[in-house]
């Protein structure tokens, strides 16, 4: 009878040993067994072997709760952030450096938190604190380039009207801004100068514009080349180039040249040389300059007009003398046809002593005559115009990005025209 009692004792030992086989933690899961070395508080399944499952709605299926710093407290999506807790209730936290406090979209900024309640933060450098549009700008755009300048010609008289126009131009430049002035030829009446330091410089240029401290960029007219305006003393042009060394504002690097300012490139032409059919080298140089320029706007300026309602008239038919070679201006027409028409946005000139903004163009190149810097002549032609006036004055321009404002003032300070052109 003692042997059966011994058998029941061994059965009790085996039963107790089997009941204590789970040495890690108790199983409080109503549906499945506990395979975690820590307590299972999930109503589903606990397959995490390291950390407790503290998510009441979804299983913890990550072997280490995939967050080395904090538990998975997201009730809607897994926590894939290795550095900070996921406090987003709608989408996963994919930011490795900062918490996701956006309740609607994921935080995809690796450098700063996303505090925008609606769109994603797609700026990698700074937080998005805009409540409506996405922050997709890492650096504000630079302001558009700007250049402002005045243009006038046939100035070199030293008379009252030259001073009046100068005073109004200085006032406009002070108020609206000027970076420089374009002088459109016939800078020294009646026959140019005899040296870079000729006394006429003071009375006909330096004193009338003494109030200015900005560059004046001149071109040469027929009177600058002497001969009482015939323009055949061609050596005189160099005197005006050389005066650059003796003046604080006169800026003439050569008888034709180019420079760039802001969004615009400028091409200074010697149309008097072209008048005598001496412009082949100039033509080649200017064509290459224009072709190489990447400026938004391109301006050419010279003395002689392509089209004009003044008494000199149109190139190729100056003074109505179409039948007289040279005098008719066919050489000027040839230069402008080849290097200006359709190649630049605007051609500025003088020669006729009036102000004209012509409606007609030269292969889409706008044409302006501004030769009323000191005296005036009649308007006799019939070309359609945006504006024209026989009263002395000047044009003023402002170029900002792809927009150009064109304005013209008379010698009394009256703004007579203002318009806008856009590229």
Confidence (pLDDT) at 141: 84
Pairing type for strands 366-370 and 355-358 reads antiparallel
Under 8 Å between Cβ of 358 and 367: yes
pLDDT tens sequence across 27-62: 434 333 444 444 444 444 444 444 455 444 445 444
Least confident of 93-102, 264-273, 351-360: 93-102
Confidence of residue 306 (pLDDT cuts 50, 70, 90): very high
What is the domain partition of the chain in residue ranges? 146-422
What CATH class does 146-422 carry?
A: alpha beta
Confidence (pLDDT) at 140: 81
Eight-state DSSP code of residue 365: B
Per-residue pLDDT at 101 exceeds 90: no
Q: CA–CA separation, 234 vs 188, rounded Å? A: 14
Say which residue, 117 or 382, is predicted with more confidence: 382
pLDDT tens sequence across 104-121: 555 554 554 545 445 555
pTM for the full predicted model = 0.69
- Spatial strand order of the sheet with 264-268 comes to 257-261, 264-268, 297-301, 346-349, 366-370, 355-358, 385-389
Confidence of residue 256 (pLDDT cuts 50, 70, 90): very high
The rounded mean pLDDT for the chain is: 81
Q: CA–CA separation, 216 vs 224, rounded Å? A: 16
Q: Which own/partner pairs from 194-203 qualify as long-range (CB within 8 Å, at least 24 positions apart)?
A: 194/236, 194/239, 195/239, 196/239, 196/240, 196/242, 196/243, 196/245, 196/246, 197/243, 197/246, 198/239, 200/156, 201/243, 201/246, 201/247, 203/158
Q: Which of 407, 339, 342 is nearest to 370 (CA)?
A: 407
Under 8 Å between Cβ of 116 and 128: yes
Q: CA–CA separation, 311 vs 308, rounded Å? A: 8
Under 8 Å between Cβ of 410 and 396: no
Tokens of 101: 């406090």
Confidence of residue 84 (pLDDT cuts 50, 70, 90): low
Say which residue, 63 or 191, is predicted with more confidence: 191
- Spatial strand order of the sheet with 216-218 comes to 216-218, 180-183, 146-152, 393-400, 403-410, 415-422
| CB-based contacts of 14, cutoff 8 Å, min separation 6 | none
Confidence of residue 133 (pLDDT cuts 50, 70, 90): low
Per-residue pLDDT at 274 exceeds 80: yes
Distances (CA, A) of 397 to 177, 259, 376, 404, 407: 9, 17, 22, 7, 6
Q: Largest alpha-carbon pair distance within the chain?
A: 155
Per-residue pLDDT at 63 exceeds 70: no
> Mean pLDDT across the stretch 360-368?
98
Confidence (pLDDT) at 99: 55
> Mean pLDDT across the stretch 316-324?
94
330-339 vs 280-292: helix crossing angle, rounded to 10: 20
Residue 243, SS3 per DSSP = helix
Least confident of 49-63, 267-281, 309-323: 49-63
């Amino acid at each position: 009878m003692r042997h059966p009692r011994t058998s029941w004792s061994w059965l009790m030992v085996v039963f107790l040993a089997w009941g204590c086989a789970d040495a890690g933690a108790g199983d409080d899961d109503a549906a499945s067994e506990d395979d975690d070395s820590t307590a299972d508080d999930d109503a589903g399944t606990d397959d995490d072997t390291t950390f407790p499952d503290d998510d009441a709605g979804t299983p913890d299926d990550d072997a280490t709760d995939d967050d080395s710093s904090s538990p998975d407290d997201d009730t809607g999506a897994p926590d894939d952030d290795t550095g900070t807790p996921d406090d987003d209730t709608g989408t996963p936290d994919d930011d490795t450096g900062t918490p996701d406090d956006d309740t609607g979209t994921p935080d995809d900024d690796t450098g700063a938190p996303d505090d925008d309640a609606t769109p994603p933060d797609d700026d990698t450098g700074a937080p998005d604190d805009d409540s409506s549009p996405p922050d997709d700008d890492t650096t504000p755009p630079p302001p558009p380039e700007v250049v402002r300048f005045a243009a006038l010609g046939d100035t070199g008289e030293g008379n009252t009207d030259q001073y009046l126009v100068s005073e109004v131009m200085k006032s406009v430049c002070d108020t609206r801004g000027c970076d420089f002035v374009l002088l459109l030829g016939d800078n020294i009446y009646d026959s140019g100068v005899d040296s870079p330091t000729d006394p006429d410089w003071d009375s006909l240029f330096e004193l009338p514009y003494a109030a200015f401290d900005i560059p004046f960029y001149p071109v040469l007219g027929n009177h600058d080349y002497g001969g009482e305006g015939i323009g055949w003393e061609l050596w005189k042009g160099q005197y005006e180039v050389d005066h650059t060394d003796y003046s604080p504002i006169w800026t003439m690097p050569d008888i034709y040249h180019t420079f760039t300012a802001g969004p615009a490139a400028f091409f200074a032409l010697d149309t008097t040389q072209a008048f005598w059919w001496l412009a082949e080298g100039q033509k080649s140089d200017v064509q290459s300059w224009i072709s190489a320029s990447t400026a938004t706007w391109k301006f050419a300026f010279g003395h002689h007009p392509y089209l004009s309602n003044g008494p000199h008239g149109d190139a190729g038919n100056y003074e109505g003398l179409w039948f007289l070679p040279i005098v008719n201006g066919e050489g000027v027409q040839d230069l402008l046809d080849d290097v200006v028409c359709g190649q630049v946005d605007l051609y500025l000139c003088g020669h006729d002593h009036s102000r004209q903004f012509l409606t007609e163009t030269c292969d889409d190149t706008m044409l302006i005559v501004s030769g009323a810097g000191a005296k005036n002549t009649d308007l006799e032609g019939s070309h359609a115009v945006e504006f024209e006036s026989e009263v002395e004055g000047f044009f003023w321009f402002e170029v900002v990005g792809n927009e150009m404002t064109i304005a013209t003032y008379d010698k009394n300070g009256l703004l007579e025209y203002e318009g806008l052109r856009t590229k």
